[in-house]
Structures are given as structure tokens and as C-alpha cells.
Amino acid sequence: MWQEADNKLSRTFEFADFVTAFGFMSSVAILAEKQDHHPNWSNVYNRVTIELTTHDAGNIVTDNDRNLAAAIDKIAKTYGL
């Protein structure tokens, strides 16, 4: 579940292993590039933490962030989450 705090949406995804987590990140990267809306994120082994904020709007949460979060959730479902 996405959490909104400190002017950002954030969520941590946990996968079975590193390869699956990296595949998820690759899918999200392609989506983010198409939307020209890039996340702040980190990966440690099987965990991917994503933070979304709209830099052009003064680093606040906008509909762009909410739309990207929803699209990321759809990708996560394809990975069994």
C-alpha cells in the first residue's frame, strides 16, 4: 500500500529474490521513461523502495504521482504481488 507523507508517495515491494526485484525495476523504468516521470528508488536484494514526488511542482504529490503509483501497482501484480 502506498503511503503519503512528507510530500511524497512511498511503497516498498518485496520479491522472492534479487532477479525478480530487478526485473520489476526494469519494467517500472520503461514505464517511468514513457511517462517522463521518474521515481526515487532503492534496491537491496529482494526489496525495492519507491518514492514519488513531482519535482516540477515544487516536490509535492500530484496526480502524476498517483497515476504512476497506480501503474506501478499493475506491474507489481504481474510479478505476483
Calculate the CA 26 to chain-centre distance: 11
Q: Which domain holds residue 22?
A: 3-78
Report the mean per-residue pLDDT for the chain: 97
Please report how many Cα atoms fall inside a 13 Å half-sphere around the Cα of residue 27, on the Cβ side: 16
Total number of domains in the chain = 1
Q: pLDDT tens for residues 33-70?
A: 999 999 999 999 999 999 999 989 999 999 999 999 99
Alpha-carbon gap, residue 77 to 81, rounded angstroms: 5
Decide: pTM greater than 0.85.
yes
Q: Tell me the CATH number at 55.
A: 3.30.1360.20
